Copies of this chain bind each other. A is one copy, B any other.
Amino acid sequence: MAKNAFYAQSGGVTAVINASACGVLETARLYPDKIGRVYAGRDGILGALTEDLIDTSLESETAIAGLKHTPGGAFGSCRYKLKSLDEQRVQYERLIEVFRAHDIGYFFYNGGNDSMDTAWKVAQLAGRLDFPLISIGIPKTVDNDLAATDCSPGFGSVAKYVATSMREAGLDVASMARTSTKIFVLEVMGRHAGWITAACGLAAERLNEPPHILLFPEIPFAPEPFLLRVAESVKAHGFCTIAVSEGLSDASGRLIAEMGGKDAFGHAQLGGVGQVVAQLIKDRLGYKYHWALADYLQRSARHIASRTDVEQAYAVGRAAVEAAIAGKNAVMPAITRISDTPYRWEITFAELSSVANQEKKLPREFITPDGFHITDLCRRYLAPLIEGEDFPPFTHGLPNYTRLQNSSVARKLKEFTP
């Protein structure tokens, strides 16, 4: 007897999370004897809690295929963390109630560390309640900090975007430095882990090419050695380009972004570590600066996605469904690297219990001893993740992204406020 499936997107979206959705939906359609309809949660797990389900079976094959090249979260995502089973048992029980009402036997949860934890708890509760449910996590995060997988779908495309942007801006600054801007700072995401900052380093093919300095959240910021390095770069090359993580902190763990003073309304200037660092250079060394804040542009830049990343995002979606069909439970498809050159990888399965609430930081040996750049070891790890292009179709000069109908499934239960 076929059971329905539930799929939800969780947390910050990426340029390729919909490629994972595409993998789930296209694969589920291959097994009509096992999987009936796939319902998606509108705005993630909130859709399950509020019984706000989207019937993906009403979407055309073309629309589903279009998800593979469409950024953002096609069904909506949310930041909503379920706490422990003890604290929020009612919420977990509600999930099971909704699953029961809609004959859902498969739970696919597409997210980062928190989501793997939730998927694991749902699996546990279903077991305790003797509710037949297969719970599978599908990895996703631009931060690349998920445990048990060599890399996280979503990261490779951000990496390609920031490295490309840094290379391009570096050429711009180099050509103007003699009479104009000498300092360029690019602020990137990754509050706790420096993977995206590290990826900026790929822009440099040869020594002394932009970026000249990387500022990682893993390395406490010390102004003096930094300023010395900036001055050296300007002396040697005429300019200095810098990539900085939004999570850059000092030795006491205080965010540098919060040291930039207050705005007109008395708030700390958050999301502006790029400007704080640039202004420090201006004040101490006198150089004119520009800075850029990539913000959401970096994680939604599907137009410059990594083909490797798109393929892996699709593969973990497909593997999740295949694993469920095969009776695996409480696992997450993970990307396992077989070799760097040529790059080869395969899908393996990690126990959700081993993934949940882990955080994979940039290893110290991926950062040069001086703390300001990436090592060759890091390059070997990063390089294959940005390989290949997978441009979306363009119409009238712009990427032609897919919009779904997102039709609601009729509610069967009483209202519930999460």
Kindly identify which residue among B71, B79, B175, B178 contacts A176, using a CB–CB cutoff of 8 Å: B79
Q: Chain B residues with Cβ under 8 A from A175's Cβ? A: 9, 13, 43, 72-77
For residue A169, which residues in chain B have a CB less than 8 angstroms away from its CB?
295-297, 300
> How far apart are the CA atoms of A294 and B187 in the complex, in Å?
11
A80, B75: Cα distance in complex, Å: 52
A75 to B260, CA, bound (A): 36
Q: Which residues of B contact A184 (CB under 8 A)?
A: 296
| Copy count, this protein chain | 2
Residue of B nearest to A160 (CB): B397
Q: Would you give the 0/1 interface string for A44-75, flagging 1 where the beta carbon is closer than 8 Å to chain B?
A: 00100000000000000000000000111111
Chain B: which residue is nearest A274 at the CB level? B293
Does A360 interact with chain B (Cβ within 8 Å)? no
The CA-CA distance from A178 to B306 in the complex, in Å, is 29
Counting CB contacts under 8 A, is A318 at the interface?
Answer: no
For A396, the chain B residues whose CB sits under 8 A away are 383, 386-387
Interchain CB contact under 8 A, A294 and B292: yes
Q: Which residue of B lies closest to A165 (CB)?
A: B297
Across the interface, name the chain B residue whose C-beta is closest to A202.
B398
Tell whether, in the assembled complex, residue B295 and residue A267 are in contact, meaning their CB atoms are under 8 Å apart: no
Question: Taking the complex as formed, is A172 at the interface, i.e. its CB lies under 8 A from any CB of chain B?
Answer: yes
Contact A304 B306 (CB under 8 A): no
Alpha-carbon gap, A78 to B179, bound state (A)? 6
- Which chain B residues border A164 with CB–CB below 8 Å? 303, 398-399
Q: A160-B398, A295-B292, A297-B168 are in contact. Are A263 and B265 (CB under 8 A)?
A: no
The stretch from A91-99, A108-116, A216-224, A275-283 touching chain B is A275-283
A13-B176, A292-B296 given as contacts; is B77 within 8 A of A301 (CB)?
no
Instruction: For A264, give its contact among B73, B259, B267 (CB under 8 Å).
Output: B259
> Does A167 lie at the interface of the complex (its beta carbon under 8 Å from any beta carbon of B)?
yes
Q: Are A260 and B264 within 8 A (Cβ)?
A: yes
Q: Are B389 and A167 in contact (CB under 8 A)?
A: no
Known: A167-B398, A387-B397. 9 other contacts (CB 8 A): A72-B174, A75-B175, A80-B179, A165-B297, A165-B301, A184-B296, A292-B295, A294-B297, A386-B397
CB-based closest 8 A-B pairs:
A72-B171, A73-B175, A261-B264, A386-B397, A292-B295, A168-B300, A172-B300, A293-B293
A to B CB contacts below 8 Å, 21 in the list: A13-B175, A43-B179, A72-B175, A73-B172, A76-B178, A79-B180, A160-B397, A163-B398, A164-B399, A167-B401, A203-B398, A260-B263, A263-B276, A265-B283, A291-B295, A292-B294, A293-B295, A294-B297, A308-B397, A389-B394, A389-B397
Give the B-binding residues of A (Cβ under 8 A).
Answer: 9, 12-13, 15, 43, 46, 70-80, 160, 163-165, 167-169, 171-176, 178-180, 184, 186, 202-203, 259-265, 267, 269, 271-272, 275-276, 279, 283, 290-297, 299-304, 306, 308, 383, 386-389, 391, 394, 396-399, 401
